[in-house]
Structure 1
Amino acid sequence: MRKIIGAVFVSLDGVMQAPGGPEEDCSGGFELGGWIWAYSDDVTREAVRGYLLGAPYALLLGRKTYEIFAPYWPQMPPENPIAARFNPTAKYVLSSRDLTPTWHNSHRLPNLDALRKLKATEGPDLLVQGSSTLYPQLLKAGLLDRLIVQTYPVVLGQGKRLFGEGTPPVGLKLVGSVVSTTGVVIATYEPTGHKPQTSTVP
């Protein structure tokens, strides 16, 4: 059985929109794209290399992220290490709408049942990149196995958030963490399978 692993860059207020550049995703009038680079150091770069250039994986993407990635990564030079991983690997797009795959080795998953069947097969783990709309669905369906969150010391005040509308209450356990020299907290979580514990003040 495959695992589904999410890896995200977020601000302190939970925004994950357009971390990589001004033109990455301007939807909703977002004008702050490229907000991660001022905090880049060896620790953050090593964390990204760990999941993007480490063990084999297939990509799991939402439709919007796929539409951003599909015209971009095939145009990158073949010596770009991320392009060298993204372009040949299988890309699965969770979308209820019809999709005409233009990126090599792309496949549409029409619903969560199709994703659940894919997850049950043998093969590389599924790595989620971007795709803010996927996280509420994955958590609600109990399909997310691991979440790597790089939290940057910046408040953006607008934009798409990691845990948006429809996110259920879910308990998580911390399985690893490190802090970069620039104050980026890199934490790895796994769902506990239980709702958050609550109690009254003694």
Structure 2
Amino acid sequence: MRKLTYYIACSIDGFIGDPQGDATSMFAFLDPEYVGFMAAEYPETIPTQGREALGIDADNKHFDTVIQGLGSYQLALDIGVTSPYGHMREIVASRSLTESPDPNVELIADDLVGRVRELKAEDSPLGIWLCGGSIVAGELIEEIDELIIKTYPQVYGSGMPMFGAGFEPRDFELGAVRTFDNGVLVRTYTRKR
């Protein structure tokens, strides 16, 4: 069975963006060492246009499908990009967007959990990347098998939490930890089931 991995950037205090979801302040930490790590280890998580600009022509290493909410997808639409991850199958969870602006983008309005379970049952060596945002992560929290948290050395004080879900402790086991000279910390957690 394939894994659903929530691979997400956040502040030290656990916010993935400001109250409106903007996380552009984290871009200041995209130095050569850290970008090199992302390009080598998670090249598929770099948007297609960014891959082209950086000269990244790597196969997908971990994921062949990306799921995101409309808020995350809207960032691409706002700059005229209808398929930000054209090198993967793209799924956007949205109840308000009724027609896909791109043939590579599948819209899911209802039963996101059911669709994720179908994806997890597919025969593929690669997993599914949950890109964001908070509401979608909250809806899929019970389906998440792995967390890869890129913590940036900033404190937001308030903002959009990693999970838009009610209180209920869920246990994960710490795996790999990678630190960077710019202060970024990348931690991998596996779900204890």
Shorter-chain-normalised TM-score: which range?
Answer: 0.7 to 0.9
Query: What is the root-mean-square deviation in Å for CA atoms of aligned residues?
Result: 2.6
CA contact (8 A) 1:135 1:167 kept: no
Q: Which aligned runs of 4 or more in structure 1 are off by greater than 4 angstroms?
A: none
Structure 1 position 89, deviation (Å):
2.4
The alignment covers a number of residue pairs equal to 173
Indicate the residue corresponding to 2:55 in structure 1: none
- Partners in 1 of 2:5 and 2:164 — Cα distance? 18
Deviation at 1:2, TM superposition (A): 2.3
Larger Rg: 1
Report the Cα offset of residue 101 of structure 1.
0.7
Give secondary structure in 2 for the equivalent of 1:74: coil
Question: The residue matched to 2:5 in structure 1 has which SS?
Answer: strand
- Per the normalisation by structure 1, the TM-score is 0.73
Equivalents in 2 of 1:144, 1:75: separation in Å?
Answer: 26
CA 106–133 in structure 1, closer or farther in 2 if over 3 Å, else same: same
Residue type matched to 2:165 in 1? Answer: E
Q: Which residue of 2 aligns with 1:162?
A: 162
Task: Give the structure with the higher percent strand.
Answer: 2
Deviations 1:47-79 (A, max 9, x none): 422223342511111122223234547389xxx
Structure 2 Cα separation of the partners of residues 102 and 187 of structure 1: 34
Deviations 1:99-138, CA, capped at 9 Å, x for gaps: 3110231112321122212221224421122312122222
**Hey, what's the Cα distance between the residues in 1 that align with 2:166 and 2:94?**
17
2: CA distance, partners of 1:73 / 1:43:
29
Q: 1:34 aligns with which of 20, 24, 28?
A: 24
- The percentage of aligned residue pairs carrying the same residue is 23
Structure-1 separation of matches of 2:136 and 2:32: 29
Residue segments in structure 2 that go unaligned for 5+ positions in a row? 45-59
What letter is aligned with 1:63? L
